[in-house]
A and B are shown apart, each in its own frame.
Chain A
């Protein structure tokens, strides 16, 4: 029994132990990095992996690049609507019809248009970039899973849940009984359940998908501040739309506060409105920073191998088992953080809805 589980691990380790032979061959000739290849830049490596891009880069082996080109959709004030594949940019080296990916300061990494007289402007960019495609993939995955579970519920009406339906039901009941009901109260919680469930599963799915490095997954969606900003914006919108009289009274006419803080100069209402706006802002930054920091740490550990490898190839091989162990540990921590951050975002949204719909005693 134990032998069967150990054999795959031995095979895996054997690959690691055999590879240093190549390192020995290199270090006979030179102990510095190979002169044809560029030095490894950890900062650029990390930023490229957590950022957005116009193509989905899968792997690069010496001169062989494998990447999935993505559609570029843009509207330029000067030349109208354009749709083309980002392979025309040849990994950011060529320009096409006056559009190119800028490598200079103000718009670095972004799509710009170079007019005939040389001025650089930014067109309206609606491209399907890596993060947009990743959102589509996660949406399709979630729809597929949940429509299947819903159909299973219809088919087995009245019977006990089984299989995947069982697991989803546990999570849905957890959100209903431990997040929505205590925070929002019995009367109003059902109105918010669809949004809270969507929020939780969307954030969880995208957090987990960002941890899998293989092709359709592995894009840093929830580490993109625009995505978390929109989620926080939805929470803000629902809070504002469902605020009742008492909620607005507490903001604009806070009870127990002296009148001279409200009437000539409305200091108290301004402070309260700022408080109302900072709460979703904090939600946005918390999710963004947690997920991005996790990815940066894991990528940083991983690039230690290459940093050491730059000094001396066999040192790179020597340090790699330790960094692999560290990276696995960070990966496990990131899975925990993925669940916790999804839960905290949903819980705080539920708390804000609860405060907005709270009845007067």
Chain B
């Protein structure tokens, strides 16, 4: 009960901590996801070296799409920080 009241008082600081955590988790998740794309792209290239052009462009496109989602999370965190 007392800790809940203390949490309410620390509202703005908690928001900042939440924003920082959110950005960190989304960076971690994006890194993980794009790492998997890179890994499977390399395996595919190793399996069939003559398809390297197609594989490379597909890899870049998919990485850009996933980065878009990660940036969504970053934008939400920035909104937390800068909008009252």
Which residues of A come within 8 Å of B, CB atoms?
A: 178, 282, 285-286, 288-290, 293, 340-341, 343-344, 347
Q: What DSSP secondary structure best describes chain B's contact surface?
A: helix
Across-interface contacts of B75 in A (CB, < 8 A): 285, 288-289
B64 touches A293 (CB 8 A): no
B74 touches A286 (CB 8 A): no
Total B residues in contact with A, Cβ cutoff 8 Å: 11
B61 touches A344 (CB 8 A): yes
Q: In angstroms, how far is the closest chain B Cβ from the Cβ of A252?
A: 27
Per-residue interface assignment for chain B, residues 35 to 64, with 1 indicating a CB less than 8 Å from any chain A CB and 0 otherwise: 000000000000000000000010011001
Q: Does residue B21 face the partner (Cβ distance < 8 Å to A)? A: no
B55-84 CB contacts (< 8 Å) to partner A: 57, 60-61, 64-65, 67-68, 71-72, 74-75
B64 touches A341 (CB 8 A): yes
B68 touches A285 (CB 8 A): yes
A285 touches B61 (CB 8 A): no
A340 touches B71 (CB 8 A): no
Across-interface contacts of A286 in B (CB, < 8 A): 64-65, 67-68, 71
| With A178-B57, A285-B72, A289-B68 already in contact, 18 other A-B pairs whose C-beta atoms are closer than 8 Å | A285-B68, A285-B71, A286-B64, A286-B67, A286-B68, A286-B71, A288-B75, A289-B71, A289-B72, A289-B74, A289-B75, A290-B71, A293-B71, A340-B60, A340-B64, A343-B61, A344-B64, A344-B65
Across-interface contacts of B67 in A (CB, < 8 A): 286, 290
Across-interface contacts of B64 in A (CB, < 8 A): 286, 340-341, 344
Q: In angstroms, how far is the closest chain A Cβ from the Cβ of B27?
A: 11
Complex Cα gap A285–B75 (Å):
8
Across-interface contacts of A293 in B (CB, < 8 A): 71, 74
Complex Cα gap A344–B75 (Å):
19
Q: In angstroms, how far is the closest chain A Cβ from the Cβ of B23?
A: 11
Q: Name the residue in A289, A293, A340 with the highest tally of chain B Cβ atoms < 10 Å from its Cβ.
A: A289
